[in-house]
Amino acid sequence: MNKTFVNIENISKFYGEIKALKNISFSVGEGELFGLIGPDGGGKTSLIRILTTLLKPTEGRAEINGMDIVKDFKKLRKIIGYMPGRFSLYEDLTVEENLKFFATIFNTTIKENYHLIEDIYSQIEPFKNRRAGKLSGGMKQKLALSCALIHKPEILFLDEPTTGIDAVSRVELWEMLKKLKDQNLTIIVSTPYMDEANLCDRVAFMQKGEIMEINPPETIIQEFNEPLYSVKGDDFYHLLLELRKMEITKTAFPFGDSIHLTAYNNINPSELNAMIEERMRIKTETQKISANIEDCFMAKMINTE
Amino acid sequence: MRTILYILQKEFIQISRNRLMVGVLFIMPFFQLIILGYAASFEVKNLNVYIIDMDKSSFSRDLISKFSASPYFNIKNSSDNHQKGFEDLEKGVADLVMEIPNNFEKDLVNGQKTNVYLSIDAVNGVKAGLGNAYANMIVKDFSSDIITKKTGQTISLPIGITWSNWYNNLMVYSTFMVPGILVLLVTMVAVFLTAINIVREKEIGTIEQLNVTPIKKHQFIIGKLFPFLLIAFFELSIGLVIAKLVFNLHYEGSLILVYSFTLVYLFAVLGIGLFISTITYTQQQAMFIAWFMFVIFILMSGLFTPIESMPVWAQRLTWFNPIKYFIEFMRMVLLKGSTFPDVKNHFIIIAIYGVVLNTLAVWNYRKVSE
């Protein structure tokens, strides 16, 4: 890991009785693409809002590039780029007016930092006289990203940037993030989509205000050591319910057109097929497979519930 | 400073994009002044009278003709049928039923005392009170006519009154109303639009984006308030022109004084708008609170009903009503020609009001949530 850029120590956030964040500590290196992954309500947004100086932590402290998020918030706001989860640009201003406004309040111009956003902005530039409210979801996202980058931030926070946009725009967004990372920008991104974890350097899996694990995605996959099978068959839903009832089954989840099943002990796929057929009189196709990142997270979620 | 200019530029673009609002801003002064100026009159005229004439004598006819000659009364119907008269009162066709009893003429000729009975629809107390007073005057007048006729000499009461109306000598109602309506115009723009405009940034989430920028609190607030300061002045100016051209209002006092006071006043009421925006999260909430305050402020402002006739506790409450001071000020300066020393206290009170409210609002406005 490069030099530490973000350092978080024992951050907690309570909303009255509700503990949104419990004792969070981790650090992010300079130029790292760091993912916060986890289900809704896991505390991702609260953590991002604390780090972007919008919310005060109840306990604990954090530093970004040596600056305290509470004491040095004024200095920090100059180096932070933030893209909130909800589209929050002016819908009644045009694409260009939005970008220009955010450039000028950071005392810069579109021209001066055009090279930073060129890749992204050039895609929406043909529509620069269109009101932001009239853009499609993907284009709004590109505009929001352009606005978050126009002042040349040293760190970029994105809160669920891929929620609610189409698959193509999702892929494009991650490509953009990769490019930005290559320019040594530190990026912290949250997402509820587990498959996106693969695209990060390291991911923190967050659930119920706690961090369950922080590792590079490859490590998470390597550490997965339960026997995993893919089961395909007719009468999908019925099959899923029955599989869950079998003694050997630890977990069973639908995954695309198949069911991913983890077993308590190693078993031959053909043996498993036979077991199912005996039980349900259904022909199934079973394979032993290696885990992908989603399997790992599903297993973790179950283990902690 | 530059940042403020950029925020202002953004605000003006946004305001101009909102076609409906711009339209309303232009139309509003015309509508409010012309409709309210002409229509909102508290003079009681044309009261509908039902006359139950049981006497049908020349005296009773004389009395009736006195009523019909008065601009305040309109003889709607007459008969000798009680029931019909009260049915009309019930239906609202008549505001007042006057009954002239049997033997009205005979009693008067014989030098005996007689009565006419008035029944007044008193749902609207002001109307009933005035109607009663006017009717009284007519009957009194009629009585002294009779004495004159009988004795052959004009009697006069020992004390008479001669009067002159100052400041509004023709007692034109619009002259009295228009300065107050100008105040409403200015206040509406300042309170409503400011509150809604700032809350809108919260509601659509743009405030999140702004809060992570180095924009300072004061820059944001000035950038947000200044456009509405200008718009309010613009509304006031259109209003003053309409008052002059349409209502022939003659400005007795100095317009410079009016504009200076408006500036101080706007500082205070923009503070109200700002304060509302700091305690609300949606435009709907802001609108509701603004309306709540606005209605109370107007009803307690002396625009429609004189403050002097309110109960003492209510009069005390009006001390905290900025609209009251502005209306008082406008009437004093525009109609009476008061000068700065006369309205010095108004300046001081509104300035204090402004400082307190703005301090409260700025203190309550946070870029970081707890």
Average pLDDT, stretch A229-233? 88
- For residues A288 and A259, membership in a common domain is answered with yes
Q: So what's the pLDDT on residue B154?
A: 66
Element holding B343 (H helix, E strand): helix B340-364
Q: Is there a single domain that holds both residue A239 and residue A287?
A: yes
Least confident interval from A6-10, A70-74, B38-42: B38-42
Q: How many domains does chain A have?
A: 2
Last residue of a domain, one of A222, A254, A271: A222
Nearest by Cα to B306 from B155, B180, B144, B189? B180
Residue-wise burial string across B36-69, b where 16 or more C-beta atoms lie within 10 A, e elsewhere: bbeeeeeebeebbbbbbbbbebebbeebbeebee
pLDDT 10s digits, A189-213: 999 888 888 899 999 999 889 998 8
Please name the residues between 138 and 167 in chain B that touch chain A, using a CB distance below 8 Å. Answer: none
pLDDT value at B223 more than 70: yes
Residues A58 and A162 in one domain: yes
Pick A56's closest partner by Cβ from B2, B210, B368. B368
Q: Which of A83, A90, A131 to mutate to test the interface with B (most CBs of B within 10 A)?
A: A90
Per-window interface: B 295-334 vs A, CB < 8 A = none
Quote the percentage of chain A above a pLDDT of 90: 48
The residue from A222, A248, A263 where one domain ends is: A222
Q: In terms of domains, do A199 and A263 share one?
A: no
> Which uninterrupted H or E stretch holds B1?
none
Residue A247 sits in a domain whose CATH number is 3.30.70.100
Shortest alpha-carbon distance between residue A274 and chain B (Å): 56
Q: Tell me the pairing of strands A258-263 and A228-233.
A: antiparallel
CA dihedral A286, A292, A298, A299 (to 10 degrees): 80
Residues A145 and A236 both lie in one domain: no
- Same domain flag for A212 and A266: no
Phi and psi at residue B248, to the nearest 5°: 55, 30
- In chain A, what residues touch B1 (CB-CB under 8 Å)? none
Which residue range forms the structural domain that includes residue A39? Answer: 4-222
pLDDT at residue B79 above 80? yes
CA–CA separation, B17 and A122 (whole Å): 26
Identify whether the C-beta of residue B204 lies closer than 8 Å to the C-beta of residue A91: yes
Instruction: Determine the Cα–Cα distance for residues A166 and A137; give it in Å rounded to an integer.
Output: 8
Counting residues of chain B whose pLDDT is more than 70, the rounded percentage is 96
b/e string for B9-34 if b means 16 or more Cβ within 10 A? ebbeebbebeeebeeebeebbeebbb
Residues A188 and A279 in one domain: no
For residue B85, pLDDT beyond 90: no
Same domain, A160 and A229: no
| CATH code of the domain in which A79 resides | 3.40.50.300
Q: What domains can you pick out in chain B, each with its CATH number?
A: 6-40+170-364 (no CATH), 47-151 (3.40.1710.10)
Does B211 reach chain A within 8 Å, measured CB to CB? Answer: yes
Q: Which residues of A touch B17 (CB under 8 A)?
A: 92-93, 131
- Of A155, A189, A222, the residue that ends a domain is A222
Whether residues A88 and A206 share a domain: the answer is yes
pLDDT at residue B42 greater than cutoff 70? no
- Which secondary structure element, helix H or strand E, spans residue A275, and what is its range? helix A269-280
User: Do residues B247 and B333 lie in contact, with contact meaning Cβ atoms separated by under 8 Å?
Assistant: no
- Do the chains contact at A104 and B3, CB–CB below 8 Å? yes
Taking the C-alpha atoms of residue B305 and residue B348, their distance in angstroms, rounded to an integer, is: 25
Question: Chain B, 53-82: which have a CB under 8 Å from a chain A CB?
Answer: none
Q: Which amino acid is located at B52 in the chain?
A: I
How large is the average pLDDT for residues B340-363?
94
Instruction: List all residues of chain A from 81 to 100 with a beta carbon under 8 Å from chain B.
Output: 82, 84, 86-93, 97
Question: Does position A85 have pLDDT exceeding 90, yes or no?
Answer: no
> How far, in Å, CA of B249 to CA of B263, rounded?
22
Query: What would the pLDDT profile of B289-347 be if each residue is shown by its tens digit?
Result: 999 999 999 999 988 888 888 899 999 999 999 999 999 999 999 998 999 999 999 99
Return the H-helix or E-strand segment holding B15: helix B2-17
φ and ψ of A200, to 5 deg: -95, 160
**CA B98, CA B100: separation in Å to the nearest integer?**
7
pLDDT grade for B368, boundaries at 50, 70 and 90: low
Q: Strands of A249-255's sheet, edge to edge?
A: A249-255, A258-263, A228-233, A284-288
Residue B21 has pLDDT above 90, yes or no: no
Same domain, A134 and A257: no
Interface contacts A/B by beta carbons within 8 Å:
73
